[in-house]
Structure 1
Amino acid sequence: MRTLFSLALFCLVLSTTYSQGPNPPEIEAQQRIKQVIETFFDGFHKQDSSIIKSTVADRVVLQTTGKDQEGKTRFREEQFAKFLNSICSIPDSVKFEEKLTSFSIQVDRTMANAWVGYEFWLNNEFSHCGINSFQLVDFDGEWKIIYLIDTRGKAGCMEE
């Protein structure tokens, strides 16, 4: 009876410990995905198209959504080449920074989603905030961004 009780207790502890969180491979994948996103923004801030290109797949999709001044939802897609050109052509006199404020990363096999909060600052003044939603695929051990959509707005940005 004691042996049966001990075995049942051991199984309960083991199953509780196992269900506490993601397994080590998932944590490692989440760290690698976060690094890809941070590298993307490193290239963004340095205005270096080669760094940005190293983080994305060949056919990356970029989209944005938000409300206009009349409160209507707007949605648009941007060509990746146009995005790169716009970032790389920002004059040195303009200081910009996208501060990443939070990360939530989910992984399933070769697919991942990263929900990344941000604040955008232009010439040291707050401009807007929102969420970057990244979709990534693991191409034989290398995570690449395949899709990015972001929201933009001013309401609720700086609340603690």
Structure 2
Amino acid sequence: MKIARIFFISLMLMHYSTCMYAQNKQASEDSHAVQLVIDKLFDGMREGDSAKVASVFGEEVKMYTSFIDKDGTKKIRKGTLKPFLKAIGTPHDEIWDEKIWDTKITIEGGIAQVWTDYAFYVGTEFSHCGVDAFHLIKNPENQWKIVHLMDTRRKEDCQVKSIGQ
């Protein structure tokens, strides 16, 4: 009886560890896929490629920016994807380079959340910093798409790291 109990417990532990390995592997693959979406967004911005940038977004996108205006008043500006894409695709002399670090990705089922610090440069000149917050969904084609993007913007108190993209 004791041997049967040990055998049963061993089988249960093997099953549990196999399930945990499969879940961890899927989570790691999803996390990597989500990071690739974020990287593609910023690569497209640097390249001025609005089609590349558009490819990472879902059909319905909500965009918000939080900032403090010149009078010191906190503001929230609602944006839309179309003007954002137009700005990226309109030729400009300097590269728009958004460097990110301390990126945190959380995934549950078919939704993901990304929170990352950033510093934005026009060419080599620092413009502003803040936090980007993304929500993504996994669509029926098994692709991660950004459906919600919020960011904060400030020019002061920026703890810009030299790492990033």
Structure 1 and Structure 2 fold alike (TM over 0.5): yes
Question: TM-score when scaled to structure 1?
Answer: 0.82
| Equivalent runs, 1:18-57 vs 2, <5 Å | 23-57=24-58
Could you tell me the TM-score, scaled by structure 2's length? 0.80
Structure 2 gaps of 5+ residues are: none
Identity within the alignment, %: 30
Bigger shift: residues 71-80 or 105-114: 71-80
What residue identity is the alignment partner of 2:38? I
**Conservation of the 8 A alpha-carbon contact between 1:134 and 1:145:** yes
Q: CA deviation at 1:96?
A: 2.5
Task: Indicate the RMSD between aligned Cα atoms, in angstroms.
Answer: 2.9
Report if the CA contact (8 A) 2:42-2:97 is conserved: no
Give distance in 2, aligned partners of 1:78 and 1:135.
15
Q: Deviation per CA, 1:40-92, whole angstroms, max 9, x where unpaired?
A: 11111111111111111011111111111222111011121111111222422
Shift of 1:124: 1.2
Q: For residue 159 of structure 2, what is the aligned residue in structure 1? A: 158
**Matched residues in 1 for 2:55 and 2:160: separation?**
34
Structure 1: 4+ residue segments shifted above 4 A:
none
Give the letter aligned to residue 106 of structure 1.
T
* Unmatched tracts of structure 1, length 5 or more: none
- Residue aligned with 1:69, SS: coil
Q: CA deviation at 1:103?
A: 0.8
CA distance in 2, matches of 1:31, 1:105: 9
Aligned pair in 2 of structure 1 residues 148, 104: CA closer, same or farther (>3 Å)?
A: same
Question: What per-residue deviation string (whole Å, max 9, x for no partner) do you get for residues 101-123 of structure 1?
Answer: 22100000001100021101123
Q: Is the 8 A contact 1:136 1:143 kept in 2?
A: yes
